Amino acid sequence: MNRAKPQDRVWITGASSGLGRALALKMASEGWRVAASARSQDQLQAVAALASAFPGSIEAFPLDVTDRDAVQETVARILEDFGPPDLVVLNAGTHKPTPAARLSTKDFRQLVELNLMGTVHCLEAVLPPLRRRREGQIAIVASLAGYVGLPLAGAYGMTKAGLINLAESLEPELRAEGVTLQVVNPGFVKTPLTDRNPFHMPFLMDVESAATAFYRGLQSGGFEIVFPRRFAYLLKLLRLLPHPLALAITRRLLPK
């Protein structure tokens, strides 16, 4: 099965800030041609400008992934103007605390529409050309929060658990058709989004280190990419514990 390599084309969503931005710059520095999507054209153009001295390049394709029709149109434009991506990184997403005291349908719907349905919109658009070519690579960005229910993260964790399940469901079919599918489960990465968290974040990674780990995982071709590994192992263990013991631990994570 062929995996994408430097000097190939990659499409990255959520590329205007945080981990997506850092990955776009990392890949351009390694010689990739990057099609970068996010809602803000100004931010995308700023990221593209930073790559001007790199061996690769970044081209902006503004997009709101919650708009299915816009996703279809943007992917068609990428295929025509940029060329068929060899690798697709579906990274667009956000986090919003959803405590029981302020549980809101609106907040849940916002995260489902962006984190989950935004990814599905992109898959619907990119799978047909990849399947026709019988090659290519897709990385779906979920989260270690999808392993187990964590306080204040009901909506976020629900969407990320859904993405993990989605990737596990699609992988056997796509592998049989020559397409590599990966799921990416980051822990806490220092970005403007996590800077708003009012709690201690264990094993917090700087965004450049996280992007390097992400890139190495893409090169490996393994199904799951996780970082930081120690935090992933702890949460995998927590998932295996009996509920009384696991819940006794997660109760201690509530903000004081």
Over the chain, what is the mean pLDDT?
94
Whole-angstrom distance, CA of residue 47 vs CA of residue 60: 9
Catalytic annotation present for 215: no
pLDDT digits over 26-40, tens only?
999 999 999 999 999
Domain residues of the chain, as ranges?
9-251
Q: Which of 141, 219, 150 lies closest to 185, judged by CA?
A: 141
Contact in structure between 21 and 46 (CB atoms under 8 Å): no
Asked whether the whole model's pTM tops 0.75, one would answer yes
Q: What is the DSSP letter of 60?
A: E
Q: Which residue out of 147, 156, 215, 233 is catalytically annotated? A: 156
What is the four-CA torsion angle of 99, 232, 224, 34, rounded to 10 degrees?
Answer: 70
Q: What would the CATH number be for the domain defined by 9-251? A: 3.40.50.720
Q: Which of 137, 154, 217 lies closest to 185, judged by CA?
A: 217
pLDDT digits over 43-99, tens only?
999 999 999 999 999 999 999 999 999 999 999 999 999 999 999 999 999 999 999
